[in-house]
């Protein structure tokens, strides 16, 4: 509730808040609501930067835009008289992100608790997700990334909690939610690898059974993703005869973003983002302490897990560290591959890294050997970093 309340308060104080691609997504949702389709265009830098040249936004999957279109339908006009009109205008375009951003916090708690069985660790993980200003900002603008993270956390919650959806077991259910994440944004494909690797490492079952369960996750994700994209192509009367055609268009979009000169400019690489925050704080603020904690929890976790393995005494906290590391590696290295493949890497791509930072930070802060003074100093630094970036710093609110 605190996340939702703070984002609503900041958003309503600045109802015209927006970000670079938000008009594109908003317009695509309105065209979808009106039943209009768009011709495909040649994806070149010149055509893309023309105003709303990619009006239907075929270069990204449709789920978030379909959900925004549904809220536009339910909430009515985008404007009105007085404060009520301001609220309606703000909510109708961003209620999906506000809701999924806020619900990500209890999901983070659930995932952390189901792995670690430590309520204190789970609560800290949820708090750390809240304390990331990058995640908070994109929880109140019409972007694709926060809903993608939300559905991935749903997948993890049903898997680690062994939760069923009626007659659907946790493996098929996690595949379903991973597909919904992928239908929000194609780069969310990275969320499946940590889960499958974790499954093979820690699932207590025969190799054949583990393989069948992993294939269920992957098969359901592939089937639902393909079916969802094909359903969109058919109902929205897109120019693509099959979902394969739209996938090819998405690949074309990725190819056209190749930018050897721009990508190699100072401050545009992922490691520059990680090690030299000054470049990005001009554009977007984030919690530096949460980001840099990875430099502590990874070596600490490697040491403690190695000791546990040597004594054959691995526990739930070791499993949480392994999953956090797998999730961090998968999401962060995706941006490395994008960058070294010759494509630009935007700062909001790192939203998918934030859940791993929250899990790993919570793991570090709950280790028995951490001195109280260090734990207190880190905690105060995390809160201070959030307040400085979100409420005081020039980065996020400059777009309001």
Segment 186-228, tens digit of pLDDT: 999 999 999 999 999 999 899 999 999 999 999 999 999 999 9
| Closest to 246 measured CA to CA, from 48, 37, 72 | 37
Angle between helices 316-340 and 82-116 (to 10 degrees): 120
Residue 319 CA to residue 325 CA, distance in Å, equals 10
**Model pTM?**
0.88
Main-chain dihedrals φ then ψ at residue 52, nearest 5 degrees: 50, 35
Tell me: pLDDT of 147 over 80. yes
Yes or no: say if 322 and 198 are a contact pair by the CB < 8 Å rule: yes
For the record, the structure tokens of 316 come out as 């739930």
b/e burial code for range 65-77 (CB count within 10 A of at least 16 → b): bbbbbebbeeeee
Alpha helices in the chain, H assignment, sequence order: 2-13, 22-33, 45-49, 63-75, 82-116, 119-130, 133-138, 145-160, 170-184, 192-202, 207-235, 243-256, 260-263, 270-275, 278-281, 288-292, 294-310, 316-340, 354-365, 372-387
Segment 99-139, tens digit of pLDDT: 999 999 999 999 999 999 999 999 999 999 998 888 888 88
Give the chain's mean pLDDT.
81
Question: Residue 369 in 3-state DSSP?
Answer: coil
């Amino acid at each position: 509730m605190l996340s939702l309340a703070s984002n609503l308060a900041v958003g309503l104080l600045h109802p015209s808040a927006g970000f670079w691609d938000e008009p594109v997504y908003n317009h695509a949702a309105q065209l979808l609501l009106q039943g209009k389709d768009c011709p495909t265009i040649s994806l070149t830098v010149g055509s893309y930067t023309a105003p709303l040249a990619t009006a239907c936004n075929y270069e990204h999957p449709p789920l978030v835009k379909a959900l925004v279109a549904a809220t536009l339908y339910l909430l009515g006009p985008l404007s009105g008289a007085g404060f009520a009109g301001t609220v309606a205008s703000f909510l109708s375009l961003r209620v999906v992100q506000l809701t999924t951003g806020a619900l990500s916090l209890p999901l983070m708690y659930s995932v952390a608790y189901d792995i670690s069985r430590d309520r204190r660790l789970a609560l800290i993980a949820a708090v750390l997700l809240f304390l990331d200003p990058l995640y908070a900002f994109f929880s109140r603008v019409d972007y694709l990334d926060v809903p993608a993270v939300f559905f991935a956390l749903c997948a993890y919650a049903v898997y680690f909690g062994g939760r069923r959806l009626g007659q659907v077991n946790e493996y098929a259910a996690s595949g379903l939610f991973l597909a919904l994440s992928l239908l929000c944004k194609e780069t969310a494909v990275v969320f499946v690898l940590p889960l499958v690797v974790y499954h093979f490492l820690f699932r207590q079952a025969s190799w054949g059974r583990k393989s069948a369960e992993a294939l269920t996750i992957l098969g359901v994700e592939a089937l639902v993703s393909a079916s969802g994209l094909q359903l969109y192509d058919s109902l929205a009367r897109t120019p693509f005869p099959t979902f394969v055609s739209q996938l090819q268009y998405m690949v074309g979009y990725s190819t056209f973003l190749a930018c050897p000169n721009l990508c190699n400019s100072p401050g545009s690489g992922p490691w520059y983002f990680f090690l030299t925050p000054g470049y990005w704080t001009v554009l977007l603020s984030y919690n530096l302490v949460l980001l840099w904690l990875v430099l502590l929890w990874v070596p600490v976790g490697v040491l403690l897990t190695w000791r546990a393995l040597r004594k054959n005494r691995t526990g739930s906290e070791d499993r949480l560290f392994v999953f956090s590391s797998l999730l961090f590696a998968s999401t962060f290295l995706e941006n490395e591959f994008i960058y070294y493949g010759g494509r630009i890497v935007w700062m909001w791509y790192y939203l998918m890294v934030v859940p791993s930072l929250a899990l790993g930070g919570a793991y570090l802060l709950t280790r028995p050997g951490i001195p109280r003074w260090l734990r207190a100093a880190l905690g105060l630094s995390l809160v201070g970093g959030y307040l400085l970036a979100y409420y005081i710093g020039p980065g996020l609110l400059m777009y309001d």
